[in-house]
Amino acid sequence: MTTNETNRANRANRTNEQPDVGRRAHVRIEGVGKVFQRRGQITEALRDVDLDIAEGEFISLLGPSGCGKSTLLRIIGGLVSNDTGVVTVAGATPETAREAKQFGLVPQAPALLPWHTVAKNVRFLTDLHTSSASAAGSQTVLGSAEIDGLLAAVGLGSFHDALPHELSGGMQQRVSLVRAFALGAPILLMDEPFAALDEITRSDMRYLLLDLWQRSGATVVFVTHSVTEAVILSDRVVVMAPRPGRVVTVEDVSLARPRSPEMEDDPVFHEHVSRLRTHLRESHSA
C-alpha cells in the first residue's frame, strides 16, 4: 500500500471509529517492550507498555533517567523499533507515519544548522524530503506568513537573518520549537527540550510552547523529568520507572485551559505535584 492509500484509509478509519471519550486515539501503544544490548550487557529499556494518546492531547512522559521515556518517544516516532508489542500512529506503523512527515521532533539540544539563518533554520525540516511529503498529500506545511507569525509569537520577529551563534540558548530553543511547528506535523515529539535552560527562561518557554500548541492543535508527547513542568503543560502525565522501564501510573491533570503562571500557586496544581512525587518516590524505592 502506498503512503497515499494508507492515509486515505486512515482517514476513513477515523470517521468510522467510535472513540470512548469523544477523542480519537491518535497513537496506540500496546504491550511494547524494548531491550538494548551493548557490549554484552542487556538493558530492558521498556517492558509491556500500554498507552493510548488522543488526538490533540498534550501528554507528558515523566520519570528519572533510564526509565525508557526517550526510547518510548523514539519508538512512537519510528526512529527506534520495538522488540515486542504494537504501535500504531493514526492507524499506520510509526515508520509509515515518519515517511509521511507526521512527526515534528524537538530534541534536547536546539540542534540548529550553524551555517543557516533563523529564517532558513525554521524551514529546514519542511525543505527536507519534499517529494514524498507532497505525495502523501496530508501535509499542512505552514506558509511563509504563518512561519513569520510563529517567529513573531516567540519574540524572534526581528531575528530572521541572525545566525544561531548570535542567539542565546533560550532563543535557539525557541527557533527549534518554531521549526517543529512549521512542519505542520500532527504529532510533536519533544525530548526534554527545556532541560538545558535556566529556570527563568524555562518557565517562560513553557507558556510559549502552550501558546504555539494551542494555535496548532497538534498532539504533543513531551518527555521531562520535571514534575512541575509536566503538570503545568499536560492534559495527562505518564509516570514511568526504571529497571525495567515501565509505566507506573497515568495522572489526569484537572487544571483548566489555557494554563497561566498563576495556576502554579493553585492548590490543585500542588495536589497533582505532590501525588506525582509520591508515585515517583514509591516506584523508585520499590
Partner 1 sequence: MTGRSLTHRSLTRRLARLGAPVFGVVGFLVSWQVLVRAFGTPKYLLPQPSDILRHIGSDPGFYLRNARTTLWEATLGFLLAFVTALTVATLMAHSRFIDRALQPMAVLIQVTPIIAYAPAIVVWRGFGLEPILIVTALVCFVPFLLNGVSGLRSVDPNLLELAHSVHATRREIFLRLRLPSALPFLFSAARIAVGLALIGAVLGEFFAGVTGGLGYAVKVAQAHVLPLQLWGSIFVLGFLGASATLAIGAVERVALRWHSSQRH
168 near partner 1, rule: CB under 8 A: no
One symbol per residue from 133 to 152: x for binding partner 1 (CB under 8 A), - otherwise; what is it? x-------------------
115 near partner 1, rule: CB under 8 A: yes
193 near partner 1, rule: CB under 8 A: no
Among 54, 122, 125, 182, binds partner 1 (CB under 8 A): 125
Stretch that binds partner 1, among 44-52, 128-136, 210-218, 234-242 (CB under 8 A): 128-136
Amino acid, single-letter form, for residue 118: V
CA dihedral over 177, 154, 263, 217, signed as positive or negative = negative
Among 53, 57, 103, 246, binds partner 1 (CB under 8 A): 103
188 near partner 1, rule: CB under 8 A: no
Our CB check for partner 1 shows the closer of 52 and 99 to be 99
Please tell me the distance from the alpha carbon of residue 192 to that of residue 206, in angstroms, as a whole number.
12
Q: Return the HEC string of 173-231.
A: HHHHHHHHHHCCCCEEEEECCCCCCCHHHHHHHHHHHHHHHHHHCCEEEEEECCHHHHH
Among 183, 205, 223, 239, binds partner 1 (CB under 8 A): 183
Name the 3-class secondary structure at 118. helix
Please tell me the distance from the alpha carbon of residue 52 to that of residue 26, in angstroms, as a whole number.
7
Among 39, 165, 199, 265, binds partner 1 (CB under 8 A): 165
Cis peptide before 244 (omega within 30 of 0): yes
* CA atoms in the 13 A half-sphere facing the CB of 204: 11
Residues near partner 1, by CB under 8 A: 77, 79, 98-99, 101, 103-105, 107-109, 111, 113-116, 124-125, 128-129, 132-133, 163-165, 183, 189
